[in-house]
Amino acid sequence: SRGRRRAAPRRRAAARVARGRAPQIQISSRAVTAESSSSSSSSSSSSSSSERAPKAVVIGGGWAGFGATWQLLKHGFDVALLDASPNPGGLSGGWRTTRGRAVEAGCKGFWRHYRNIDALVDELGIAPFTPYTSSAFYSPRGKEVEAPVLGSLPRLPTPLGTLLYTSPYFSNLSFEDRASAAPLALDLLTYDLDEKTYMSYDARTAKDVFLGKCNGRDGTVLPLGAGCSEALYDTFLSPVLCALMFAPPSELSAAAALDVLYGYVLAHQDDFDVRWCKGTIAEEIFAPWKREIEKVGGEVFGGRRVARVELATGESNKRRSRVVATTRARRR
């Protein structure tokens, strides 16, 4: 059948990779050289060239690099992945100390809308995550508010669900402070009615809008809005935006901040639900992913820092490019 005829070149390509013949990577104690070649297709190409799997070299062993390698293998490529880190996962992978303690840079949660990663772990047949769990915001005074697992609660018309379900979890804010958020609902509903309105919000910082101040970022005087209380801003709104946008509200466009709050508060209230990796991401996700890549014929080379990429020149039908990566010096 046609499906069997198309599958045969891929099986032969995988067999060549398993014997170390592709994608023509030569390893020495000093350097790794990866060569990638491609041939221009034509209606007169021979059957032998049609069976030769195209070759690819992927530089970088993080999420993007592993994802690209995985997809290229699915499309019949012979693939080699090079990464400077000796362990799979790049900066996302983390490491273990000499005493065996797991260490990762940053706090890496997996939110409910990470559908692509959910599909990946199902495809790999692994279960690296904890159940969805509540999350909390802390200030120097201690825990300020806890967010329940909204996906497990009945859905209500927006934004009633978010307001109703989180209201009991504020530890230090009075009812008056929490109620002062109500005028912001009007901002969320009107800030993008038209381009002029959106640009007026863009001219102000998120802090100015949330607190009801009237000065734009360029010093222009803008209509005064009804703001929330200082306590609500300091203990909840400001930390939330810092977590979502990696900048304080005083440096953020009000329009951009409202875009983000709309996405999480109004449009997708359960997207704030988060779960965590049971161990390090390198051990729980990237290590089994690496094994699957190698099982289907790909190659993953850690500790290979790319030194240069030599692109093919000329107009020959068969062009060859080369990626040269150095290994780390061995300790004596």
Q: Which DSSP string do the residues of 104-127 spell out, in sequence order?
A: -SS--EEETT-HHHHHHHHHHT--
In a domain, 128, yes or no: no
Residue 319 tokens read as: 């062009």
83 and 154 assigned to the same domain: no
Same domain (yes/no): 84, 195? no
Q: Which domain holds residue 161?
A: 135-272
Q: Which helix (H) or strand (E) holds 135?
A: strand 135-139
Structure tokens at 14: 């995988």
- Using CA atoms, how far residue 5 sits from 138, 239, 324, in Å, is 60, 58, 35
The pLDDT value given to residue 35: 46
Give yes or no: residues 214 and 301 share one domain. Answer: no
Q: Kindly state whether residue 332 falls inside one of the protein's structural domains.
A: no
Q: What is the pLDDT of residue 31?
A: 41
SS3 of residue 30 by DSSP: coil
End position of a domain, from candidates 251, 272, 293 = 272
Reply yes or no on whether the pLDDT at 13 is more than 80: no
Let me know whether 140 and 268 are in one domain.
Answer: yes
C-alpha to C-alpha distance for 75 and 54, rounded to whole angstroms: 10
**Is 116 part of any domain?**
no
Residues 96, 99: Cα–Cα separation, whole Å: 8
Residue 105 or 188, more confident = 188
51 and 143, same structural domain?
no
Position 130 scores a pLDDT of 95
- pLDDT confidence of residue 264: 76
Name the DSSP class of 307: E
Total domains present in the chain:
2
Nearest to 308 by CA among 132, 54, 46, 82: 82
In this prediction, residues 294-319 reach a mean pLDDT of: 81
**Residue 175 lies inside a defined structural domain of this protein:** yes
Q: CA 163, CA 170: separation in Å to the nearest integer?
A: 11
pLDDT of residue 195: 94
102 & 40 share domain: yes
Average pLDDT value for residue range 184-193 = 86
- Say whether both 140 and 104 belong to one domain: no
In a domain, 113, yes or no: no
For 41-86, the pLDDT digits (tens) are 333 444 444 467 888 999 999 999 999 999 999 999 999 999 988 8
Other CB atoms within 10 Å distance of the CB of residue 232: 24
In a domain, 33, yes or no: yes
pLDDT beyond 60 at 6: no
130 part of a folded domain: no
Domain limit, last residue, from 245, 272, 299: 272
- Do 147 and 47 have their domain in common? no
Domain boundary among 228, 254, 272: 272
Q: What is the mean pLDDT of residues 246-255?
A: 92
- The CATH number of the domain holding residue 308 is 3.50.50
Residues 6+ apart with CB under 8 A from 68: 58
Q: Do 163 and 230 lie in a common domain?
A: yes
Does 120 map to a domain? no
Let me know whether 167 and 93 are in one domain. no
pLDDT tens digit sequence for 87-136 = 888 777 777 788 888 777 777 889 888 999 999 999 999 999 999 998 88
CB 222 within 8 A of CB 203: yes
Examine the domain organization and report whether 186 and 87 are in the same domain.
no
Instruction: Identify whether residues 188 and 305 lie together within a single domain.
Output: no
